Amino acid sequence: MSELRGVPVEGARIVVTGANRGIGLAFVQEASAQGAATVYAGVRDPGDITDELRATGAVPVRLDVTSDEDVTTAASICADANIVINNAGLFTGTRLIEAADPDAARAEMEVNFFGVLRMTRAFAPVLAKEGGGSFINVLSVAAIAPTAFMGGYSPSKAAALNLGGIARAELGPHGITVTSLIVGSVDTRMAAHVNGRKEDPRDIAVAGLAAMTRGEWTFDTDFMAVDSRARLARDPVRYEKGLGKLLFADELRTGA
């Protein structure tokens, strides 16, 4: 855990990317419930937001993380932000080597890695101007080991995990913390094809905000993340082989 502690949620001005549904929406809802002063909901089309997001009272902001223009404009609009939650993600469900769409991995890297990098570069000066702040990067268990059935998604999340560590070193002197969340199977559209136990997105948001406030560097948000980390530590080769076998499984099912 860093010597720096994160920004308290109460009274904070928070930017959330990918805020229309799933984990992003849960972060908006939970931040509002914990007393954030302003929540900026980053969505690709502010004219097409869900009723659930509209009900939170968050401020919609056009924010496609693959667009330099959108990100630069958002940094200007959200000029008082002191927490940024990099949640927007893309999973194409395509293999990496034997890919039906050879451009899918590039698209996943553009959102999951370069989108986080673009947001961090744009908002670091904003947070520094406010006297410091916090980034939360929403990642995946696929970031900690090669996950064959997640094609280009796994490498993109691993790259984002390393990005978080580098950003933490660069931005610490400015009073800025970076917390990387390792997230397991969550009840969202992205995990609709997975059977078994899936976490409530709101629980991930609660755990993630608490980890950020404590100044955690990397935090496993749920049972699957903790269990995966433990199995990886006990026998890395066996764990990776198991992930490889899932590429050919008839169905994907969580272990609990």
Q: What is the pLDDT of residue 159?
A: 98
Of all helices (H) and strands (E), which one includes residue 155?
helix 153-171
Using alpha carbons only, how large is the chain's radius of gyration in Å? 17
How far apart, in whole angstroms, are the C-alpha atoms of residue 22 and residue 26? Answer: 6
CATH number of 13-253: 3.40.462.40, 2.60.40.650, 3.40.190.10, 3.40.50.720? 3.40.50.720
pLDDT at 256: 55
pLDDT tens, position by position, for the chain (256 residues)? 458 999 999 999 999 999 999 999 999 999 999 999 999 999 999 999 999 999 999 999 999 999 999 999 999 999 999 999 999 999 999 999 999 999 999 999 999 999 999 999 999 999 999 999 999 999 999 999 999 999 999 999 999 999 999 999 999 999 999 999 999 988 666 655 664 666 899 999 999 999 999 999 999 999 999 999 999 999 999 999 999 999 988 766 676 5
Token pair, residue 107, equals 């698209």
Tokens of 185: 């199977």
- Which three-class secondary structure state does DSSP give residue 58? coil
Distance CA 30, CA 113 (A): 25
Sorted by sequence, the CB contacts under 8 Å of residue 182 that are 6+ apart come out as: 139, 140, 141, 143, 144, 161, 218, 219, 220, 221, 225, 229
